[in-house]
A = this chain, B = another copy of it.
Amino acid sequence: MTPAPARIGASLDEIDTPALLIDLGPFERNIAKMASFASANGVRLRPHAKTHKCPTIARKQIDAGAVGQCCQKVGEAEALVRGGVRDVLVSNQVVGEQKLRRLAALAMEANVGLCFDAAAQVDAASRAATEAGVMIGGYVEIEVGMQRCGVSTPEAARDLAMRIAAAPGLAFVGLQAYHGSAQHLPTWDERRDAIERSAGIVRDTVQCLRAAGLASPAITGAGTGTFRMEGTSGLWNELQAGSYVFMDTDYARIGGEGGGSYDEFEHSLFVLSTVMSTPTTDRAIVDAGLKAYSAEKGPPWVHGRPGLEVTGVSDEHGKIIVSRDAQRLRLGDKVMLIPGHCDPTVNLHDWYVCVRDGRVETLWPITARGAST
Contacts and interface: CB of A to CB of B under 8 A. Distances in A.
Q: Which range contains the number of A residues in contact with the other chain?
A: 35 or more
A96 B332 contact: yes
A148 B285 contact: yes
Contacts of A280: 152
B348 A2 contact: no
Contact of A147 (B50, B283, B332, B372): B283
Interface string A4-46: 0100000000001111000000000000000000000000000
Contacts of A50: 315-316
7 contacts: A2-B75, A16-B96, A92-B276, A120-B331, A143-B279, A148-B285, A148-B319
Contacts of A149: 276-277, 279, 285, 317
Name, among A17, A148, A347, the residue most crowded by chain B CB atoms within 10 Å (CB to CB): A148
A2 B371 contact: yes
Nearest to A48: B315
Contact of A348 (B180, B276, B285, B348): B348
Q: How many copies of the chain does the oligomer comprise? A: 2
A223 to B, nearest CB: 11
Contact of A16 (B93, B275, B373): B373
Interface stretch (A189-197, A202-210, A292-300): A292-300
A278 interface: yes
A370 interface: yes
Interface string A255-292: 00000000000000000001111111001010110111
| 7 cross-chain pairs, A with B, having the tightest CB-CB distances, nearest first | A149-B277, A72-B316, A95-B276, A290-B344, A93-B276, A296-B296, A295-B296
Given A17-B373, A99-B16, A291-B347, A148 B312 contact: yes
Given A95-B331, A315-B343, A150 B292 contact: no
Nearest to A53: B291
Contacts of A350: 370
A158 interface: no
Contacts of A313: 296
Interface of A: 1-2, 5, 16-19, 50, 72-73, 75, 92-96, 98-99, 117-118, 120-121, 143, 147-152, 180, 274-280, 283, 285, 287-288, 290-292, 294-296, 312-317, 319, 331-332, 341, 343-344, 347-350, 369-373
A294 B293 CA distance: 11
Nearest to A17: B373
A93 B278 CA distance: 11
A7 B317 CA distance: 37
Contacts of A148: 277, 279, 285, 312, 314, 317, 319
B279 A331 contact: no
Contacts of A16: 96, 98-99, 373
Contacts of A95: 274-276, 287, 331-332
A75 to B, nearest CB: 7
A349 B331 contact: no
A98 to B, nearest CB: 6
Contact of A277 (B17, B93, B291, B292): B93
A276 B344 contact: no
Given A148-B317, A152-B280, A296-B290, A348 B370 contact: yes
